[in-house]
């Protein structure tokens, strides 16, 4: 762990194993931190806050820019660590590390753009001035599916704003976090400003984050259920919260769209990170006039995918994170086929060629999916694509919005009016119009409804870590 500028063991002296999901082998052990370690890290962050927030924006910017350079230079090494502990193919891991570095660069620049304002006052002897100042100590919890970029997407704006931070990475992927904190240390982040607490059981660390009054903001990426628990706990002390939670993205292929072109995009985004991404489409709505061409192209591409260890050449599909993830996918597929869905390809666990040592599930396509099936309602987080026919473009908005999630959605159309109508009508925070990658460090990322609160990325991201202060001067 990294607390107050020093690499250290857990107070208890305990460690836990990190394993490779591709083959089940142990790759490292890391400190098994708990409540006492979190408390120590929070105190260090609190003690460092005055000095860090008192630095100029230009000084903080230079450190973040140095971190960007270091992370970019170490892209392949960090990517290999990611593939080994998380499972995604190496090329995808390289892309993620670069995406993560982009946040360091973006917020190195945004640190210098936290502008105040003056406001005309109603009295001649009065002046109003508005400042934006850092909220204080931030507690961050990040997920296993994007174990590098989700860290910098929180750490970079927090540090740019002048906050100090304590990070709890996912227990499945602490090694990426360790590598990123080595980058921050070498870049010159002062002691106590950025702290890392690893632990196998997130509960005692999370409870300390919620109950410790020195923490003034919690930022979390993960399940909606856990996000709600953190939000309830944070309310007792009125802590600020940012929550990036689950998704159930619809993918709409309207009547005028090219179904083959849409299928190519749908395959790429559906099986992104083996389907383990909150923005992966979970419901593929295709107009009945194009469903045959769409399905044929989609299935043809999926059947060519190759599963295996992400360090091997030509791998498209990595392992799922654990056995529980396999069980969820198996349950959804069994439920769908029992209720009449057609299994078009896949539909089974992969066991040949040594894959039985990991958590592999064949990329799967289901046809004739209906609203009474679990996969229509539940987030899958796995490599299963349910295809659903519809016959009226006017009804598709209601079908797509029929979920308590609201993170990402996708629309394929060649009609400008239809594109604008669906963009405005979909109740989701991120909409890709003929675009399967509507994300970037410069763009706001976040959801509506039960997919979360707040935004990460863009200029909106830094304001999640700032308080607005009004000064009224009588002269």
- Residues marked active site are found at 244, 278
Collapse the DSSP code of 258 into the 3-class scheme (helix H, G, I; strand E, B; otherwise coil) and give the result: coil
Q: Using CA atoms, how far apart are residues 55 and 190, in angstroms rounded to an integer?
A: 11
Q: Using CA atoms, how far apart are residues 109 and 131, in angstroms rounded to an integer?
A: 19
Picking from 135, 232, 9, 145, the residue whose alpha carbon sits closest to that of residue 463 is 135
Contacts of 95 (CB under 8 A, 6+ apart): none
257 by Cβ neighbours in 10 Å (0-12 / 13-18 / 19+) ranks as buried
- Do 1 and 169 contact (CB within 8 A), yes or no? no
Contacts of 172 (CB under 8 A, 6+ apart): 18, 21, 85, 86, 144, 321, 322
Tokens of 154: 């929180």
Q: Using CA atoms, how far apart are residues 155 and 403, in angstroms rounded to an integer?
A: 31
Q: Using CA atoms, how far apart are residues 401 and 80, in angstroms rounded to an integer?
A: 39
Neighbours of 463 (CB within 10 A): 17
Neighbours of 59 (CB within 10 A): 12
Tokens of 248: 């159930």
DSSP annotation of 111:
G
Picking from 193, 157, 167, the residue whose alpha carbon sits closest to that of residue 48 is 193
Neighbours of 459 (CB within 10 A): 16
* Secondary structure, 3-state, 326-342: HHHHHHHHHHHHHCCCE
Neighbours of 250 (CB within 10 A): 25
Q: Using CA atoms, how far apart are residues 137 and 216, in angstroms rounded to an integer?
A: 6
């Amino acid at each position: 762990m990294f607390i107050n500028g020093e690499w250290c063991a857990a107070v208890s002296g305990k460690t836990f194993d990190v394993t490779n999901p591709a083959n089940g082998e142990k790759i490292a052990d890391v400190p098994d931190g708990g409540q006492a370690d979190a408390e120590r890290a929070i105190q260090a962050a609190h003690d460092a806050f005055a000095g860090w927030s008192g630095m100029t924006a230009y000084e903080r910017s230079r450190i973040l820019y140095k971190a960007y350079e270091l992370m970019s230079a170490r892209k392949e090494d960090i990517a290999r660590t990611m593939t080994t502990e998380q499972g995604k193919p190496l090329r995808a891991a390289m892309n993620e590390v670069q995406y993560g570095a982009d946040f360091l660069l973006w917020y190195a620049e945004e640190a210098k753009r936290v502008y105040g304002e003056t406001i005309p006052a109603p009295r001649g002897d009065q002046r109003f001035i508005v400042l934006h100042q850092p909220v204080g100590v931030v507690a961050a919890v990040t997920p296993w599916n994007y174990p590098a970029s989700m860290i910098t997407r929180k750490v970079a704006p927090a540090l740019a704003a002048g906050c100090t931070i304590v990070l709890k990475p996912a227990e499945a992927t602490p090694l990426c976090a360790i590598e990123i904190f080595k980058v921050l240390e070498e870049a010159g982040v002062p002691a106590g400003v950025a702290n890392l607490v690893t632990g196998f059981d997130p509960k005692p660390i999370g409870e300390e984050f919620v109950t410790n009054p020195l923490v003034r903001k919690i930022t979390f990426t993960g399940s909606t259920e856990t996000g709600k628990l953190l939000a309830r706990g944070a309310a007792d002390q009125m802590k600020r919260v940012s929550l990036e939670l689950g998704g159930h993205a619809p993918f709409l292929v309207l009547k005028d769209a090219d179904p083959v072109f849409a299928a190519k995009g749908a395959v790429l985004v559906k099986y992104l990170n083996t389907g383990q991404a909150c923005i992966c489409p979970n419901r593929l709505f295709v107009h009945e006039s194009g469903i045959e061409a769409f399905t044929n192209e989609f299935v043809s591409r999926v059947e060519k995918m190759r599963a295996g260890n992400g360090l091997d050449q030509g791998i498209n599909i990595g392992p799922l994170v654990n056995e529980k993830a396999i069980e969820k996918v198996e349950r959804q597929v069994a439920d769908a086929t029992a209720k009449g869905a057609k299994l078009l390809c896949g539909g089974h666990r992969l066991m040949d060629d040594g894959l039985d040592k990991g958590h592999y599930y064949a990329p799967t396509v289901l046809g004739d999916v209906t609203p009474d099936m679990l996969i229509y309602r539940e987030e899958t987080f796995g490599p299963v694509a349910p295809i659903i026919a519809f016959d009226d473009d006017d009804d598709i908005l209601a079908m797509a919005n029929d979920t308590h999630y609201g993170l990402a959605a996708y629309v394929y159309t060649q009609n400008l009016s239809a594109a604008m109508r669906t963009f405005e009508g979909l109740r989701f925070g991120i909409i890709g119009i003929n675009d399967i990658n509507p994300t970037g460090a410069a763009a706001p990322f976040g959801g509506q409804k039960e997919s979360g609160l707040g935004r990460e990325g863009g200029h909106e991201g830094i304001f999640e870590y700032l308080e607005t202060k009004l000064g009224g001067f009588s002269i």
